[in-house]
Amino acid sequence: MPIRQLPEQLANQIAAGEVVERPASVVKELVENSLDAGADRIRVEVERGGSSLIRVRDNGFGMDAEDAPRALAPHATSKLREAGDLGRIATLGFRGEALPSIASVSRLTLTTRRSAETEGVEVAPGGEGPRMEPAAHPPGTTVEVRDLFYNTPARRKFLRTEKTEFGHIAEVVRRAALGAMDTAFTLAHNDRVHFQLPAVEAWDDSERRVARLLGEQFARNAVHIVQDSGDGLRLSGWVILPTAARGQRDQQYFFVNRRPVRDRLLGHAVAEAYRDVLFQDRYPAYALFLEIDPEEVDVNVHPTKHEVRFSDGRRIHAFIRHALDEALGAVRPETARDKPPAQDPAPAADRGATPRSESSRAGDAAHQGQLGLREAPAAYSALYGQPASEGRGEESAPRTASAPGPLPYEAGEAGGTPPLGHALAQIHGAFILSQTPDGVVMVDQHAAHERITYERLKRDFHDRGIDRQALLVPVTVPLTERQMVVLEEEGEVLERLGIRADAAGPRQALIREAPALLLEADLGALLEKTLDTLARYGSGAPVTEAANEILAEMGCHGSVRVNRRLSREEMDALLRELEQTERGGQCNHGRPTYVHLSMNALDRFFLRGE
C-alpha cells in the first residue's frame, strides 16, 4: 500500500483526539488562550453540557485582521519563535494545536478586535481557507464552538450525560479561577449563572474566592502558607488541617507557574508532609502554587500539558516537604482551636483512642510506665503559673467528672489563660476536661502524650541520638533468622534509636540498653517491630523514613495509657506540653488529640436562646 500525505482536515482530527477529549477539554484550551492574552475578565457560557455550545469571551489583547485567520492554522502560535524557547515556556499554551484541532471537530467561529482598532473581525474555517468578515466586538476575543463532534460520531457517542459533562467543565473553570486569582470569571450553563467571581484585589478577596470554589469547610480548616527557598523557589497557598482531611482526593490542586498540573513528585512531597498526621484512608486537601524559573521545568511532556518534569526533582521535593512540614508543625492550639472539626464523614466520631474491651484496657494498665510529666509543685509553678489547687486547700488527687473540684478560674479571671485552658477533671481514665475562656476542651490523654513523646524522640534522634539507659536485667527476645540478620546489619541505627541488643544464640537476642523514655514499655515487641521496619525499608532507603515510623511506634509504647490516673498538676502539665508540640492536634496515627467546643456551640446544642 503506497504512503500518502494525510489531508489537513484529517490530520487535525487525529490531533484533536489527543487535545479534545470532551467539552471540558475545549473549555480548558480556550480559557488558557484567554489568560495568555492578558485577559482579566473571562466569561464561559455552555449549553447542554457543552455539546451544543461553548462560548468563551475575554477582554484580552485581541487580534487584528492579519493575525486572526492565522490562529486557525495548524502549529501557528505567537508564543514560540525558535527551538530554544521550548526550554523557557512561561505561557499556558505554546503548541498552536488547540484552535485548529477544535475547529476540525466542531463549527467554530472566532470574533476578535484589538483595542487600537475601530472594527473587529469574524473568522470561521472554510473549504478554501478561513472565511473573514468585519464584525462589531469590544476589545478582546470571543470563540464560539457549536455542535462538538458533529462530524466524528464515534467520539460523540462516548460523551456522558449533560450533568456529568458540565461537572467536568465546572472543574476546569474552578482550576483556572484558582490559578489566576487576578482574573474575574463567570460560568453559565443553559443561560443560568453557575458562579461569578470578581478579580482578587486584596487578601480577603482571595480567601473568599477559595471559600467559594472549594467550600466554606475547606476555608475554615485551611492553613495559609508562604515560603521562599532563597534560591528561586516560592511556595504559597492553602493546606488543610489534618483533622479536616477528606475521604477522597477531590480537592488537590497544584499549580506550577500558574499552570495546573498533576505530578507524582509534587503529590508525593505533600503526602510525605502529612505522613504521620493523617488517619488511615484520609487524604489532604490543598491549593498550592509553586513559582520557579521556567528554565528549570519542562512543560512539553504530555499533549494535555498536565504533566511537568523538573531539572532537579530532589530539590523541589525537599523544598515542598520542608515548607509543608513547617506550616503544619507551626499549628498550635491557639491557631487551630477555633477551627471546628470537619463535617466530612468519619472518623470524626472516633476522636480519641480506638474503643477497646475492658480486658484490653486492664492489660494496658498493667504494662504502662510513668507518665514522665510529673513535676514538683514549685517547678510547675515556675513554669506555668500557680496550680489550680494551690491556695484553695484542695488535694492534688485525681478527680472524676462527678467530683471535679473548684474551677481553675472564675468568670472574669480568664486573662492569660493558656490556649487549652486548665484541667478540671479526668473522665473515665481516658480524657482530660479543660475549661477555656470561650468554652471547653476535651483531650485524649493517650493520643496527646503519644504525639508529645514522638516529637521529643524525633528531635533527639536527629540531633544526637536517643538517650539510652542500661537495663539491670537484660531482656531476652526470640527472633526470626531475618530479624537476626537485620540486628547485625543495622546495629548502628539501632543504637541511635536508643536500643543496644546483642545476639545470644541462633535465634535469640539480649536487649542490654533501651531508650530512657521507654523503660516500662514492652521492649521485646518494640525490638521486633523495629527490626521488621528496618527490613521493609532496606538498607538502600533513607534511614529517616524508617526511623520516623519506628519512633512513632516508640511514642505509642511510651505514652500514658487508658485508666492511668493523673493528678491535676500532671493533667495541666500535659496540656502545656501539647500546646508547645509540633503537630499537636493529631496523634501519630492521625486521630485528633483534642476537641474544642465553644460556648456558642454549647448554647446551640442545648437550644439556649432559641
Chain centroid, CA 597 distance in Å: 25
Contacts of 21 (CB under 8 A, 6+ apart): 304
Residue 459: its pLDDT value, please?
Answer: 84
CB 475 within 8 A of CB 510: yes
As a whole number, mean pLDDT of residues 34-56 equals 96
The mean pLDDT value of the chain amounts to 80
- Distance (Å, whole) CA 271 – CA 274: 5
The H-assigned helical ranges of 274-406 are 313-329, 333-336, 358-367, 377-384
In this structure, the number of other CB atoms found within 10 A of the CB of residue 195 comes to 14
User: 95 near 71, Cβ under 8 Å?
Assistant: no
pLDDT of 243 reads 82
Rounded (10°) angle between helices 568-579 and 377-384: 40
Confidence of residue 76 (pLDDT cuts 50, 70, 90): low
pLDDT at residue 51 is higher than 80 = yes
For the segment 314-351, what is each residue's pLDDT rounded down to a tens digit? 899 999 999 999 998 887 776 554 454 443 333 333 33
Give pLDDT, residue 263.
Answer: 87
> How does pLDDT run across 85-142, given as a tens digit for each residue?
555 676 776 666 789 889 999 999 999 999 999 999 999 998 778 899 999 999 999 9
Label residue 540 by pLDDT band (50, 70, 90): very low
Convert the pLDDT of each residue in 355-399 to its tens digit: 333 333 333 333 333 333 333 334 334 433 444 333 333 333 333
How sure is the predictor about 461, in pLDDT bands with cuts at 50, 70 and 90?
A: confident
Domains of the chain: 8-197 (3.30.565.10), 203-330 (3.30.230.10), 351-610 (3.30.1540.20)
pLDDT band of residue 181 (cuts 50, 70, 90) is: very high
25 or 96: which leads in pLDDT:
25
Cβ distance 425 to 415 under 8 Å? no
Q: Which residue has the higher pLDDT, 120 or 304?
A: 120
How far apart are alpha carbons 8 and 4 in whole angstroms?
12
For residue 576, pLDDT beyond 90: yes
Statement: residue 547 has pLDDT above 60: yes
Question: Is a pLDDT exceeding 70 seen at residue 408?
Answer: no
Fill in the DSSP letter of residue 351.
-
Structure-block grid coordinates of residue 405: 473540684
User: Mean of the pLDDT values across residues 157-178?
Assistant: 95
3-class state of residue 21 by DSSP: coil
| Cell 476575543, located at residue | 141
H helix intervals, 330-442: 333-336, 358-367, 377-384
pLDDT: which is higher, 378 or 555: 555
- Set of cell numbers at residue 194: 453557575
Report the DSSP beta bridge partners of residue 289.
Answer: 236, 255
pLDDT tens column, 490-523: 888 898 888 999 999 889 999 999 988 788 778 8
